[in-house]
Amino acid sequence: MRLKLLVALVAALLLSACNDPHTGTFIFTAIPDQDESQLEKRFGTIALYLEDQLGVPVKYVPVKSYAAAVTAFRNDEVQMAWFGGLSGVQARRLVPGSQAIAQGQEDTAFKSYFIANSSTGLKPVETLGEDFIAQPSFTFGSKGSTSGRLMPEFYLRDTFNEAPDTLFEKVGFSGDHSRTIALVQSGAYATGAVNFKVWERELAEGKIDTSKVSVIWETPSYPDYHWTVRGDLNERFGDGFSQRVTEVLLAIDDPVLLKAFPREKFVPASNADYAPIEETASAIGLLD
CA dihedral 75, 77, 80, 86 (to 10 degrees): -40
Spell out the domains of the chain, with CATH numbers in brackets: 9-108+224-283 (3.40.190.10), 111-218 (3.40.190.10)
Q: Is 62 exposed, middle or buried (0-12, 13-18, 19+ CB in 10 A)?
A: middle
The CA distance from 21 to 13, in Å, is 14
The CA distance from 175 to 169, in Å, is 19
Q: Is the pTM of this model over 0.75?
A: yes
pLDDT at 241: 97
Q: What is the pLDDT of residues 24-55, one digit of tens each?
A: 899 999 999 777 777 888 899 999 999 999 99
Closest CA to 145 of 170, 177, 116: 177
pLDDT at 285: 85
- End-to-end distance of the chain based on CA atoms, in angstroms? 63
The CA distance from 77 to 68, in Å, is 11
Residues with pLDDT less than 50, the chain: 1, 3-23
Closest CA to 88 of 261, 273, 285, 241: 273
